[in-house]
Amino acid sequence: MSEDTIARSGVKRRHLMGGAALGVVVGAVGGLAGGVALGQEAALPQQKPSGKRRFENKVVLVTGGTSGIGRAAALMFAAEGGQVAFCGRNVERGKQVEDQIKESGGDATFIRADVRNEIEVKALVDRTMESYGHLDVAFNNAGISIEKPLHEYSAAEFDDVINTDLRGVFLSMKYEIPHMLEKGGSILVTSSSNAIATTEKRSAYSAAKRGLVGLVQAAALDYAPHGIRVNALIPGTTDTPFIRRLSGMADLPDAAWHVALTQWAKVHVPGLQRVATPEEIAAFAVTLASDDHPYTTGGQFVIDGGKTAHAG
């Protein structure tokens, strides 16, 4: 899920970290030696670009591309030779990502767009075509969450999650697909491990993310005769600004945040007992979107460190 579209958790936030994890944070920030040691333990693996050029002469559109998984994916698509058009609502962050790609020798165009707005989504795709002339890959990644018990949602809040996470993908595909009908293409949609096994206070988010799986499956059958592959990415908890805000810890020092997240993951992520980095999820997304696996369509590809393997 992209941090690009601001997560709003309402009056009552679901705190990601439990009391034990917060206790570790207090200890870590309370003593320099302890903070350094725990900070080193909390370090996540660094996923580097593949070095391949799988998207040479290909045009890639990324929604929610200004931070988190979307940002990491935009950078990786560009590093592999893709001409990347990407959107978000935050112009400053969008320009920063565009500049970073260009400074690295890549080709990118930031286009401000809100996926809830049909006119803006159409304009996003139109501008991509005007800039690059064709469309080969779409990574529809933008999303938000509002977390509270079901009866506490207002209808507007519930609609906001559905309109961003589910309807926004529908709108994106509606305007992307006509440009792929003649020569084929690859569409990847960011769902969530909550589409498989969820938790309390996520009824709107889980409904949207499970809905995406059905949308992907049906669309894959619609467009297989046209050579368009449509797949769903199912990431687990990822260390992005999105979840940091959603946990209520946006103002926590970086070192303390990473320590808290590490301790939380040891309890809540069976298997690898850590969260993912945006780059790890993005690297998997780039591979799925590439031509390396031409027999994949209508699939749900889980990358969650073993989180949902334990849920059943």
Residue type, 310: H
Distance CA 27, CA 13 (A): 24
Element (H, E) at 283: helix 278-289
Query: Pick the catalytic residue: 132, 175, 205, 223?
Result: 205
Q: 59: which strand partners? A: 83
What are the structure tokens assigned to 164, written together? 């961003």
Phi-psi region of 167 (alpha: psi -120 to 50; beta: other; left: phi over 0): alpha
Distance CA 29, CA 258 (A): 11
277-288 burial, b at 16+ Cβ within 10 Å, e below that, comes to bbbbbbbbbbbb
Distance CA 60, CA 149 (A): 38
Q: 190: which strand partners? A: 233
- Own/partner pairs for 28-37, CB < 8 Å, 24+ apart? 28/255, 28/256, 28/259, 29/253, 29/255, 29/256, 35/255, 35/256, 35/259
Quickly count: other Cβ atoms within 10 Å of residue 138's Cβ.
30
Query: Nearest to residue 177, comparing CAs of 136, 213, 218?
Result: 136
Q: Three-state SS for 302? A: strand
Task: Mark whether 205 is an active-site residue.
Answer: yes
Instruction: Tell me the catalytic residues.
Output: 205
